[in-house]
Amino acid sequence: MDNNKVWPLVRGLFVAVLVVSIATLGVAAVVGGNWVVWVRAAAVAAASAWLVALAGQAARGRRAAYVRIRFVSLAAPVGIVLILLAPDSGYPLWMKAEQGVVGLLVAAVAVVVNRRAVREAFPRRGKLG
């Protein structure tokens, strides 16, 4: 994948996570979600807004933004799997389904940003060329 296409795709995936999280807050308002649902949905919405901004910074070549995106895109799906597998996490089934969707979107980001061409576009200091 061309590096010029990477960041619009990554940004779009994070925007999708943001939209899903905001919709989750709406569902929680309608069905009366517990405090765990509210905290998780709000945290994921806030994090995804931050990640949208980071994608813009990474598109402009900021290595620190890329490193953060790479870390989050690898760590978040692991945390989501733990939520999905936890027998008594406090999350209703509909929220676990929503988190599954979020996990798939973020895992897609991980696949894209961990490609060799993308990694090579953000060399470590002192490892240019």
Residue range(s) defining the domain that contains residue 105: 3-120
Nearest Cα to Cα of residue 17 among 47, 37, 53: 47
Q: In this structure, is residue 129 part of a structural domain?
A: no
Q: In this structure, is residue 25 part of a structural domain?
A: yes
For 37-59, the pLDDT digits (tens) are 999 999 999 999 999 999 999 99
Our count of domains for the chain comes to 1
Q: Supply the pLDDT for residue 90.
A: 85
How many helices (H) does the chain have, and how many strands (E)?
5, 0
Q: Output b/e per residue, 59-79; b: 16+ Cβ within 10 A.
A: beeeeebbebbbebbeebbee
Q: Supply the pLDDT for residue 46.
A: 97
Tell me the average pLDDT across 57-63. Answer: 95
Burial of 17 (0-12, 13-18, 19+ CB in 10 A): buried
Tell me how far apart the alpha carbons of residues 7 and 56 are, in angstroms, rounded to a whole number. 7
